[in-house]
Structure 1
Amino acid sequence: MTAHPRLRVVVATRLFTPEVGAAAFRLQALVDGLVAAGADVSVVTTRAPGGATAGNVPFRISRWPVLRDGGGNVRGYVQYLSFDVPAFFRLLLQRADVVVSEPPPTTGLMVALSSWLRRRPFVYYAADVWSEALSATDVPGFVISLMRRVEGFVLRRAARVIAISDAVAEQVARFDVPAERVQVVANGVDTSVFNPQGDAADSDRPYFAYTGTISEWQGADVFIRALPLVQRKYPTAEIRFFGQGTDEPALRALADEVAPGSVVFGGVVPPREAAAWLRGAVAALVSIKPGQGYDFAKPTKIYAAAGCGARVIFAGPGEGAAVVANNGLGDAVDHDPDAVAAAMIAALEEEDTGRGHRSQWVGENASLAAAGQAAAAIVASVGRTQP
């Protein structure tokens, strides 16, 4: 019997563990799934802040210095290109049967061009549709138009597009990507971390927890505007933010104005610490700002919170609200301070009997390990079908 050679896979991403973020966790799960299936995996990524490493791992990691913004993020076109341009040449030197790209589309473009030159396929892992997300910001129209062209070029040339939801798949289809090339693998969280069994944070004040990215399109200011209404009945209630993002300075200023001393910004914390804060929270806060073209998003914050058993208060429209409302994960309300305040007060007043149900639902429907294995199978199928 002739042994099949090991499948060689290269993953190109500006974010990878030990950095904290949904993209880093998602790609770590993909790599874990590929390694478990016997693939030879290399990750082309950035040098993590402070020189942190992923430790001893059963795959190769090639790290490169990158420009970061004031918050330590690889966010902004200069920062993206500081990874993308070197990545193009790094990928040309890599042997691979298939390459995987994560957004932004500028990275996808480098992967597409290098893959064309090396005559090998690539898979695009679409956590969102980038040009749609830009519509929620104050980016000039010509930039959005340019990025839409780049994104369409990348999506149409990918051997497969992995979309994290049906809604993302529908948006991908608008770029004239053949339906048979698009496959959905739902997002998830690490249920070995985000579960109800660990320690819960201790606080002298009842608090609501917001974890993860803090961007304009999420509109997390609605929770801060709601807090003074909550404090009329529960004066000691507070909000704790864990994460960072472009909207953080504005939220800090708003908090100082309307709820001084009652909004705490804890920065980026390790997943296990975030889980402890979620377990001890009255409820977890998640939002999508309406009218920004981002109603299709299902923030991973939902799964992380519910996995810990926490009640979720979701402010805004769309897919995320439906996940919360239809699966008994908490309350889906309008993106409005009065509606949010009413949900926060109800969470303070009512006995929470749904913790077990929420964590069980996440375990059965939003396991990151299962998502990684499913995505790995798609990537492997592309690599194995090449001559």
Structure 2
Amino acid sequence: MRVTIVSRIYRPEPAAASIYLGAVADELLNQGHAVDVITAAPPRGTQVRSRGERVRTLPVLRDRNGYVRGYIPYMSFDIPLAIRLLFTRRPDVVLMEPPPTTGVVVRTICALRRLPYVYDAADVWSDAAQLEPVSPFVVKVLRALETFALHGATHIVTISQGVMDRLRALGITRAVTLTGFGADTHEFPLSKRSPEPLFVYAGSYSASHGAEILIDAFARFLPTHPDYVLRFIGNGSERHLVEARAGALGIEDRIEYLEPVPPAELLPHLGAAAASLATIKPSTVYEYSYASKAFSSLSAGCPVLFAGSGPTGSLIDAANEHVRAGASCIYDVDSIAAAMAELADNRSTPDQRAALSAWTAQEHSMSAVARRVVAVLTSVVAERG
């Protein structure tokens, strides 16, 4: 079959969605299918490298952090997407990645061309929008766009039971398949670099993450571990809060900020870290989601310190029954500082890191997730004859 993947973000741009969609494309190619990808032109300094799929890029507007985020950047992708998708070689099925505005375009064009599409609902965007400083009217409009796109999908795939339950609560009656989420073990193999006095936060940090609490915890941790550094790699709407908090506590010289990097460049940072950090702020509409950055860290053999609500804590706790995966705790300064101290004072050995990487590859491989997604795409095409 011929599959068209539509997403504003794709490899090599560093993001969970890029890794996920790339894995799906690889699995489709491995099974002998043809893959077209319609995506945004990558950030300056990076280049798309096909692994057999045909990648067609659209020029887009990016924010000051180089990310396609916000209404105008979304429109800069969605408007030319409508034309490209209308005249692209006819696929058997379309797999699309949010935002909901892209979903509206995909539903409209697929209806005109009588094409089935599968919606990747890794989370609920209109829920996440409630955590940003936007008006209730904007949230209401976004909810309408999102439900319009979801209702038109032939099938929906999602990563967690929490998202599935939320979709049902919103009245989405389309078939939903829980595919889970995993680590791309090819992009994040075991890193054999020796750990340093370092914690790494790799990925986005938005209002739903509440990553600023890590600054308070790190300040409490530093007096007994003065040689440690906390390194943020990525971008997010809450960076100014993180920087301001570090300045207020006088520890700005122990905090580092790096721009997003491809997986190959992130891997050495994970290898050097005593642990990677991940947070999801509790008591928000977003706490049913995974902190997807945890999977990449586990795959590289780097323990994870997770603080907050949601299924990520249960993942770490379950993994600790088999390997040394890290620590999970409540979203509390003292608890996070104590977990930092425990991980710093008892760093994982090379053998423990190797065991963690091997366990992750066996239990939470992105390849297994990709196979489930391809099975859904194949069933959608088969049902349409």
Verify the 8 A CA contact 2:232 2:256 in the aligned structure 1.
Answer: yes
Which residue of the other structure, out of 337, 348, 352, is the alignment partner of 1:352?
A: 348
Residue 25 of structure 2 corresponds to 31
Residue 118 of structure 2 corresponds to 123
Residue 3 of structure 1 corresponds to none
Secondary structure (helix, strand or coil) at the match of 2:208 reads: helix
Residue 150 of structure 1 corresponds to 145
User: 1:24 deviation in Å?
Assistant: 0.9
TM-score by length of 2: 0.93
State the alpha-carbon separation in 1 of the partners of residues 220 and 213 from structure 2. Answer: 12
Secondary structure (helix, strand or coil) at the match of 1:79 reads: helix
User: 1:357 deviation in Å?
Assistant: 4.0
Which residue of the other structure, out of 364, 376, 379, is the alignment partner of 2:377?
A: 379
User: 1:213 deviation in Å?
Assistant: 1.2
Verify the 8 A CA contact 1:296 1:320 in the aligned structure 2.
Answer: no
Which residue of the other structure, out of 37, 42, 55, is the alignment partner of 2:49?
A: 55
- Residues 120-129 or 355-364, more deviating: 355-364
User: 1:35 deviation in Å?
Assistant: 1.6
What pairs up with 1:246-261 in 2 under 5 angstroms? 246-258=237-249, 259-261=251-253
1:70 aligns with 2:61: no
Residue 245 of structure 1 corresponds to 236
Tell me the amino acid that sits aligned with residue 335 of structure 1.
Y
State the alpha-carbon separation in 2 of the partners of residues 322 and 81 from structure 1. Answer: 38
User: 1:112 deviation in Å?
Assistant: 0.4
TM-score by length of 1: 0.93
User: 1:12 deviation in Å?
Assistant: 0.8
Residue 225 of structure 2 corresponds to 234
Residues 167, 32 of structure 1: CA spacing in aligned structure 2 closer, same or farther, 3 A cutoff?
A: same
Count of matched residue pairs = 377
* RMSD between aligned residues: 1.7
Verify the 8 A CA contact 2:195 2:274 in the aligned structure 1.
Answer: no
Secondary structure (helix, strand or coil) at the match of 1:261 reads: helix
User: 1:364 deviation in Å?
Assistant: 1.7
Gaps of 5+ in 1: 1-6
State the alpha-carbon separation in 2 of the partners of residues 178 and 108 from structure 1. Answer: 17
Identity %: 34
Gaps of 5+ in 2: none
Secondary structure (helix, strand or coil) at the match of 1:296 reads: coil
Secondary structure (helix, strand or coil) at the match of 1:341 reads: helix
Deviations 1:213-272 (A, max 9, x none): 121210111111111211121112220111112112221222233212101112212212
State the alpha-carbon separation in 2 of the partners of residues 280 and 49 from structure 1. Answer: 26
User: 1:201 deviation in Å?
Assistant: 6.3
Secondary structure (helix, strand or coil) at the match of 2:57 reads: strand
State the alpha-carbon separation in 2 of the partners of residues 96 and 214 from structure 1. Answer: 36
Deviations 1:136-182 (A, max 9, x none): 22221111111111111211221100011111111122233336x10
Secondary structure (helix, strand or coil) at the match of 1:50 reads: coil
1:336 aligns with 2:351: no
Verify the 8 A CA contact 1:155 1:172 in the aligned structure 2.
Answer: no
| Structure 1 residue runs of 4 or more that deviate by more than 6 Å after TM superposition | none
User: 1:51 deviation in Å?
Assistant: 6.3
Verify the 8 A CA contact 1:211 1:241 in the aligned structure 2.
Answer: yes
User: 1:351 deviation in Å?
Assistant: 4.7
Residue 79 of structure 1 corresponds to 73
Verify the 8 A CA contact 2:26 2:51 in the aligned structure 1.
Answer: no
- Residues 348-357 or 359-368, more deviating: 348-357
1:138 aligns with 2:136: no
State the alpha-carbon separation in 2 of the partners of residues 255 and 199 from structure 1. Answer: 31
Residue 297 of structure 2 corresponds to 305
